[in-house]
Structure 1
Amino acid sequence: MKCLIIVAGKGSRLKSLSDSKPLTSILDVPLVERVIRSALEAGVNGFYAVVGYRGGQVRDFLDDLGGKISAPITVIENDDWEKANGLSVLKAKQVLDEPFFLLMGDHLFDPGIARQMIDFPLMGDEIALAVDQDLKNPMVDMDDVTRVMVRDGLIRNIGKGIEEYNCFDTGIFLCNPVLFSALEQSMRETGDDSLSGGVRILAGKGQVRAMPIDGKFWIDIDDPERYKQAESYLLS
């Protein structure tokens, strides 16, 4: 299975550590490399990486990494990287026509989550999102996390500002190409060019399954505090 990784953003809250968020190292290994190696452990056999801010630098690193691992890494440019992440996902529309993983380049996770998800049963018009049901997870930034409402195994609503929720979005997806048309619909009808906007379109049709991660590790490294938490976890 192929994997799409979004590494286009600037990551301004981590600028004190590195000028390139995906290349920020934890214990001498860049974030994006940790994400790629976790996906490899789950059985991914090829990658597409959407780059934007400092794209040339990230491309050079990924080209070098691709020569060291057992799977190709194809880089896709997003010149509109300052806009929401749904546009970065859409950049892969022409190259992904079968089920694929979708990962964020700054979300570290237990490879067991991806291994569980790769066997998750999906219909052709569905996608799935790994969700964290631990609403007291100390590694979650409550001011930034995307919140999710799940009922009967289906995601009913998703967004950073929703008031009713019972899970968190881990940024780990199993997708079908139906996601691309949903993103286009979200942009066309609501002006929302975020990934959550497209997921919300599919959720309204009952086409987004939730997969609980059952307490497994994940973290969105979006600020120095989360960086330190991840470093401590990896050292433990």
Structure 2
Amino acid sequence: MIGTGLVLAAGEGSRLRDTTPFKPLCPVAGRALIDRAIDTMADAGMTRVVVSLGYGADAIAAHLAARDWPIAVETVTTDYRQPNGVSAVAARAAVSDGGAVMVMCDHLCEPRHYHRLAAAGFGDGLALGIDRRLGHRWVDPEDVTCVATEGDAIVAIGKGLEPHDCYDTGVFAVGPRFFAALATLANPSLTEGVRLLAADRAARVVDCSDCDWIDVDDAKALAHAEAWQSALAG
């Protein structure tokens, strides 16, 4: 069972700039996205989390330092102007060989979603949580990363991919081989790292179609997230 979480929170989040200057601090039903990610990891049974910061790093780090967390929280910093794989590579040493459940800060998930990836482990390379509910109303078809599978193996991944049979939920179990693959790329993106491992049949999927999740990437998604989390709290 993986006990470490890795939260990627380095991006600019320009599409939510009217709501908040720093996307990880965007409130959803009264709680910041970054708080929800960390608390959910604690609820999933993890004992520590590494947060990769970039844009607004000082403000977000101060926010994290001001709270008494139910889990050990560490931060690393990276260049937010680089592809998102750079955010993961920045945390490579902190994660160590035990691997991590890696999540995007703006993807809200249930604790069981994280726990399922922690229990599945990273295998020969990585495991990706996927959703086979194609056409879900919370998913932006223009922005979601699509995945094609054969059994539990990833054979193709990318935005606008056709054909595809599931969505990337933004939750992974990753180990040393994933970070090593990213390090070979000049401009490493997470998707390119997955493709490298998929070419060696070292990238598999974990079905999380029964778990609710949402990518809070714009005002429409934020409204869906607010309604979902408010209903849970009510």
Question: Do these two structures clear the TM 0.5 threshold for a shared fold by scoring above it?
Answer: yes
1:170 match: secondary structure: strand
Residue among 205, 213, 216 paired with 1:218: 213
Query: 1:170-213 CA deviation, whole Å, 9 max, x = no partner?
Result: 1101111111111122x14xxx4211110110011111110111
Q: Which residue of 2 aligns with 1:163?
A: 162
TM-score (norm 2): 0.94
Unaligned runs of 5+ in 2: none
C-alpha displacement of 1:96 = 1.8
C-alpha displacement of 1:126 = 2.4
Unaligned runs of 5+ in 1: none
TM-score (norm 1): 0.93
1:165 match: secondary structure: coil
Does the Cα contact within 8 Å between 2:126 and 2:178 map onto a contact in 1?
yes
Give the Cα–Cα distance (whole angstroms) in 2 for the partners of residues 35 and 200 of structure 1. Answer: 26
Give the Cα–Cα distance (whole angstroms) in 2 for the partners of residues 38 and 140 of structure 1. Answer: 21
2:203 partner letter: V
2:201 match: secondary structure: coil
Query: 1:62-83 CA deviation, whole Å, 9 max, x = no partner?
Result: 1123xx12222111011x2112
For 1:115-194, list aligned pairs within 5 A. 115-120=115-120, 122-123=122-123, 125-185=124-184, 187-188=185-186, 192-194=187-189
Residue among 25, 41, 44 paired with 1:42: 44
Query: 1:114-135 CA deviation, whole Å, 9 max, x = no partner?
Result: 1222221553x22100001011
1:231 match: secondary structure: helix
Give the Cα–Cα distance (whole angstroms) in 1 for the partners of residues 107 and 209 of structure 2. Answer: 17
Query: Structure 1 runs of 4+ off > 6 angstroms?
Result: none
- RMSD, aligned CA: 1.2
2:66 match: secondary structure: helix
Give the Cα–Cα distance (whole angstroms) in 2 for the partners of residues 18 and 170 of structure 1. Answer: 23
Q: Which residue of 2 aligns with 1:53?
A: 55
Percent identity between the two aligned chains: 30
Bigger drift between 157-166 and 223-232 goes to 157-166
Query: 1:38-90 CA deviation, whole Å, 9 max, x = no partner?
Result: 1111111011111111110001011123xx12222111011x21121000000
Residue among 194, 201, 206 paired with 1:199: 194
C-alpha displacement of 1:32 = 0.7
Give the Cα–Cα distance (whole angstroms) in 1 for the partners of residues 30 and 153 of structure 2. Answer: 39
Alpha-carbon spacing, 1:10–1:91, altered in 2? closer, same or farther (3 Å): same
Q: Which residue of 1 aligns with 2:101?
A: 101
